């Protein structure tokens, strides 16, 4: 039996049991009074179930992630101007790839599609995904130092300075406008992923000595995997 399929079934069953609506006076009237004030529980439940059902139906594709120092990671992404079912499917496949890696963010550049698309989910439950098309950032406030890693720079973690808050303007997969303010880990992750769209990696913020050492290490590792 396919282990991935079995794990998906178990995850789907557990999620459905935990998040299924309970009977009560709020039935059919939106989310109940115990719902988390900062999370749309009904929407979260629907997103998880839909993603798992697509996985069970075989409608999810895990994309190949490029690894530094692959020169394609240095390509600057171009804006998305067509919002159709192919874009929506690509975004879902990006999420599947990110979760499977596992990671908390992924840019289209990392899977060799040079369009301005990122996906992010910093939640512990993998249930608060953001799909941002053509994101534009306005960082503000203080800068903080934090350790970062990257799916394109595997097993490498270094301290990077970023803004703690950022105003985000973007579009969803239907082309509808999105605006919100992110802070903390979410803000840092969005900045990290938007760097990819400009052909930048978090290692670019390090000294040349560290960058060269990391590049050499990843080249040697790739040779052992061939």
Domain boundaries, the chain: 1-19+37-60, 71-225
- Cβ burial of 17 (10 Å; 0-12, 13-18, 19+) is exposed
Alpha-carbon radius of gyration of the chain: 19
Q: Rounded distance, CA 132 to CA 172, Å?
A: 6
Question: What sign for the dihedral angle of Cα 113, 117, 120, 126?
Answer: negative
pLDDT tens for residues 68-119? 989 999 999 999 999 999 999 999 999 999 999 999 999 999 999 999 999 9
Are residues 121 and 104 in contact, defined by beta-carbon separation less than 8 angstroms? yes
Average pLDDT for residues 132-136, to the nearest whole number? Answer: 98
- Edge-first strand listing for the sheet containing 130-150: 105-107, 117-120, 130-150, 153-171, 177-183
Question: Which residue in the list 158, 179, 193, 220 is annotated as catalytic?
Answer: 193
**Confidence category of residue 21, pLDDT binned at 50, 70, 90:** very low
Q: Rounded distance, CA 31 to CA 41, Å?
A: 7
The torsion defined by the Cα of 32, 33, 34 and 36, in degrees rounded to 10, comes to 90
For the domain made up of 71-225, give the CATH fold.
Peptide Deformylase (3.90.45)
Beta carbons within 8 Å of 98's beta carbon, 6+ residues apart:
104, 105, 106, 119, 121, 151
Q: Rounded distance, CA 47 to CA 158, Å?
A: 33
Q: Rounded distance, CA 158 to CA 133, Å?
A: 28
193 catalytic? Reply is yes
pTM of the model: 0.75
> Is the pLDDT at 20 greater than 60, yes or no?
no
């Amino acid at each position: 039996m396919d282990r991935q399929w079995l794990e998906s079934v178990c995850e789907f069953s557990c999620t459905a049991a935990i998040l299924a609506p309970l009977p009560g006076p709020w039935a059919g009237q939106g989310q109940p009074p115990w719902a988390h004030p900062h999370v749309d529980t009904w929407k979260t439940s629907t997103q998880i179930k839909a993603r798992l059902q697509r996985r069970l139906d075989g409608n999810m594709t895990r994309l190949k992630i490029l690894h530094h120092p692959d020169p394609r990671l240095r390509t600057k992404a171009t804006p998305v101007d067509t919002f159709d079912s192919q874009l929506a499917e690509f975004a879902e496949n990006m999420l599947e790839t990110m979760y499977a890696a596992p990671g908390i963010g992924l840019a289209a550049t990392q899977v060799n599609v040079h369009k301005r698309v990122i996906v992010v989910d910093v939640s512990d439950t993998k249930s608060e995904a953001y799909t941002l098309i053509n994101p534009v950032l306005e960082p503000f406030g203080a800068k903080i130092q934090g350790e970062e890693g990257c799916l394109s720079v595997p097993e490498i973690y270094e301290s990077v300075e970023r803004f703690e808050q950022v105003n985000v303007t973007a579009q969803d997969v239907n082309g509808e406008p999105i605006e919100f303010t992110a802070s903390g880990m979410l803000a840092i992750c969005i900045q990290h992923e938007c760097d990819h769209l400009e052909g930048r990696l978090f290692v670019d913020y390090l000294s040349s000595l560290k960058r060269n050492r990391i590049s050499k290490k990843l080249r040697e590792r790739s040779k052992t995997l061939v």
